[in-house]
Structure 1
Amino acid sequence: MMFFVESFNDRTKANMEVALERGCESLPINLRSDHGARKRIGEKIVECAEAGRRTLHELTVAAKIAAAEFGSE
């Protein structure tokens, strides 16, 4: 996954970082620092960016959807 992240421009990478934090903020408190949860949300963000959806809004939506799915398991 790291290879793919390096292929994005600086703005996209910054948007991805902000989206990850916003997605994690929507997790229950006990999961916010959970590595597995953060990784899964990050993977969904990368998938979103690879599909060409790279705005902060689009990436944040993907992150929050992933967080909601993780929290409902």
Structure 2
Amino acid sequence: MILESFDRRTIANLEAALERVCDGRPDGADHELRSFIADAMVACAKKGQTTLGALTEAGEAALARRGISDRKQA
């Protein structure tokens, strides 16, 4: 479980970064999208990059990759 893997500060940063990336997006409440972004952020945190900035960047990069992938499928 994610709560056992990280300290409180990292978990708070993960939550805040996810909100930053998803806030204001029309699809920002979509569970599948949020899960995709969160997975990228967790992978980042597991590499030791646990700052709010690093996690936000990881989420934005995942979102960009997803957008490219979505366009290729269309």
TM-score by length of 1: 0.83
User: Residue 22 of structure 1: which of 11, 20, 23 is its match?
Assistant: 20
Matched, 1:62 2:50: no
Matched ranges for 1:1-73 at <5 A? 3-25=1-23, 28-29=25-26, 31-72=27-68, 73=70
Q: Which has the larger radius of gyration?
A: 2
RMSD: 1.5
Confirm or deny: 8 A CA contact 1:24 1:67 kept in the other structure.
no
Residue 64 and residue 37 in structure 1: after superposition, are their counterparts in 2 closer, same or farther (change >3 A)?
A: same
Equivalent-residue separation in structure 1 for 2:62 and 2:10 (angstroms) = 19
TM-score by length of 2: 0.82
Unaligned stretches of 5+ in structure 2?
Answer: none
Equivalent-residue separation in structure 2 for 1:37 and 1:6 (angstroms) = 23
- Aligned-residue identity in percent: 42
Letter in 1 for 2:32: G
Aligned residues: 69
